[in-house]
Amino acid sequence: MQPKIATGQDEVKVKAELEALVNGGWQLDNEEIQLEKTYHLASYRNVKFLAIEIMSRSQLKNHHPVLTSTFSSVTVHWTTHSPRGLSDKDTFMAKYCDRAANSIGTVNPEESKKCGSVQSSQI
Ligand SMILES: C[C@H](O)[C@H](O)[C@H]1CNC2=NC(N)=NC(=O)C2=N1
């Protein structure tokens, strides 16, 4: 693992945090400059809760994710644009995403509902 750490960061600290995040299911992209994770959720209601939770915290932190949602999943990407690279803001927000997802509750991908098999009570 050779992640690109943003200039001015505590490299040892950020690299250690990245290693822990990767062990916890986060992935680095090919350039090793971006963190990515997909959470699978039991309902669209929980997709919405998790997205709102992440967006609210990122607004407070002024550090914004690329966030994609489906009927049963939320995918989050973190990187820092200036100075370019991974920073402690990315690791902070990635850890926050894990805490939020844990408190809402995630499911295995095969347990998540597919769009089309929805019951009205789950909308
Ligand atoms: C000026 C402002 O602080 C910056 O543009 C912020 C806003 N949100 C951001 N979000 C993310 N993910 N990376 C950044 O580098 C970043 N920069």
Q: Looking at residue 15, which CATH number applies to its domain?
A: 3.30.1360.20
Residue 81 lies in a domain: yes
ipTM above 0.90, yes or no: no
> In which residue are the tokens 């992440």 written?
54
Is the pLDDT at 122 greater than 70, yes or no? no
Residue 123 lies in a domain: no
Residue 1 lies in a domain: no
Partnered with residue 11 across adjacent β-strands are none
* pLDDT for residue 120: 53
Please give all residues whose beta carbon lies within 6 A of any atom in ligand 1, as ranges: 62-64, 78-82
- Residue ID of nearest Cα to ligand 1 atom 14: 80
Name the residue range of residue 34's domain: 11-113
- The domain total for the chain is 1
Is the pLDDT at 3 greater than 60, yes or no? yes
* pLDDT for residue 67: 98
Is the pLDDT at 123 greater than 60, yes or no? no
Nearest alpha carbon to residue 78 among 70, 69, 87 = 87
Residue 37 lies in a domain: yes
Categorize the per-residue pLDDT at 94 as very low, low, confident or very high, splitting at 50, 70 and 90. Answer: very high
Is the pLDDT at 97 greater than 70, yes or no? yes
Residue 122 lies in a domain: no
Residue 69 lies in a domain: yes
Nearest alpha carbon to residue 115 among 80, 70, 85, 67 = 70
pLDDT in tens, 14-62: 999 999 999 999 999 999 999 999 999 999 999 999 999 999 999 999 9
Ligand 1 centre to CA of 109 (Å) is 31
Residue 107 lies in a domain: yes
Residue 87 lies in a domain: yes
Q: What is the mean pLDDT of residues 68-82?
A: 97
Which atom of ligand 1 approaches the CA of 93 most closely?
12
